Structure formats: C-alpha cells, structure tokens
Amino acid sequence: MCRWMTYSGDPVYLEDLIYKPGHSLIEQSLKAEEAKVPTNGDGFGIGWYGEREVPGTYREVLPAWNDPNLRSLAQQIKAGLFFAHVRASTGTETIRPNCHPFTHNQWLFMHNGQIGGYAGLRRDLESLIPDELYRHRRGTTDSEVIFYLLFAHGLEQDPEAAIKATITCIEDKMRERGVESPFRFTAAVSDGDRLFAVRYSSDDRPPSLYHSQDTSQLIVVSEPIDLPEYEWRPVPENHVLSIVDQRVAGMIPL
C-alpha cells in the first residue's frame, strides 16, 4: 500500500512538509508504520497548483528517497495546495504513467488501496469509462481507472455523489464476478478550489487516514508527520472529508 499527503492553506515550500518534519513522507517511503508494507519505493509523484489553471506534476519511477530532482524541486516550489505520493505497487508495473498523482484538466487524484481481483475485473471496469475519457488513460493501474470512473459519474458536477456512485459501480462488478477480496479506497481529489479526501473499505480494514487543521492550513496524511503544533484526528471509516477554503466543510458518510 502507498503513503500520501495533501496540503491546503497559506503557500509553503513543499520541502517544509514532505522532507523536514520527523516521520515525513520521504521517511515513510522507507519506514512506514501504518501500512501493509514498510517500504514504498515503486515510484512517487507530486502535484501542485500554481499560477496556471491546470496543476503541475512531477512523477518518477525512482524511490522518493533517492531522487535529487525531487529534493531540488521541493526546495523551490511554493504552493497553497499540493499532493505528494509514494507508491507501493499492488501488482502493476513500475512505470511513470502508473505513478500518482493523476491529472485531467484541472483535477488531481491520488489513491492508496486496491480493487480486489482487479486483474479479472480490469476489462469490465475499463469498458465503463466513456471514450472521450478513455483516450487520456496512460497507465495500467486500478487507481487511474477509479479516477476516470469518477468523471464518468459526475465528478465535475457533484464530487460527493460521484464518489459514492463510483464505489457502488465497482462493488457491483466485483459481486458479478464473485470477487471476495476487499475494495480499499483511501484517496484525495481536487480541482484546485475544492478538496475531497476519502477513507473507505468494503471490509473493516480501511487504510489509515488522518487530518489536522489550524486557522490557515489543513493537512491530510496517510499517517501522521511530526509537527508538534498539530493534533492529528483519524478520518472516520467510510467517510468523505470535504475541504473548502482550508477548512473542513463536511464529513459525509458513505
């Protein structure tokens, strides 16, 4: 399983959160404490919103701890909303198109978890992606399939409803194929203004997810980083955390 974090607030340099704190995301890429495996070395990615309408991204197949370009970029990029992700593959190749975050128009998406029995469901699920979206698909992961299914179910119009409909759609296909393995879905998606963080599992073991906020910023993480001024609260199981203007706008049950 992967580790990730997202930040929304006053602009900060990325290195201040992904490198400098104790148990930072870079440290978690080597020594995660709440993941299925401690090492997340199958690539990484960052995505950030700057002066353009669409976000910037940098994704690579090297382990995050071993890429000097990531460190250099993190020292220079300052953003008020960014995503960062370190990957532990659940079976698909370690290639750049499979690294998170994924982007489409102004949207960013990243995921920790997996669709149970994905190898046998891939064709069924990909067939549900509309042609105008499918031509943008570049990789082979279940995560990217989920991203485009969110669009197919109305992400741009009603994100919360799209998340619920996508979960239902995937689980319906799993039941049709007799898949008993769980669907685990802990993810973040944003259009640069709104941010939604999801913690869901079809069994009773959803991947970990925490959030913390003060008056000017909000952070969501797979597992806490060491920032003494922050109080980390778990996102409830099977809920969507809705964030607007660096504040929790809602906690929606799934």
Where are the domains positioned within the chain? 3-253
pLDDT of residue 245: 84
- Name the class of domain 3-253: alpha beta
Q: What is the pLDDT of residue 247?
A: 85
CB 199 within 8 A of CB 239: yes
- pLDDT given at position 85: 98
Q: 3-state SS of 49-75?
A: CCCCCCCEEEEECCCHHHCHHHHHHHH
The per-residue pLDDT for 40 is 87
pLDDT tens-digit series, residues 216-237: 899 999 999 998 888 999 999 9
Residues 6+ apart with CB under 8 A from 254: 163, 164, 167, 198, 200, 238, 239, 240
Contact 109, 150 (CB under 8 A): yes
| pLDDT for position 230 | 85
Which parts of the chain sit beneath pLDDT 50? none
Is residue 242 within 8 Å of residue 251, measured between CB atoms? yes
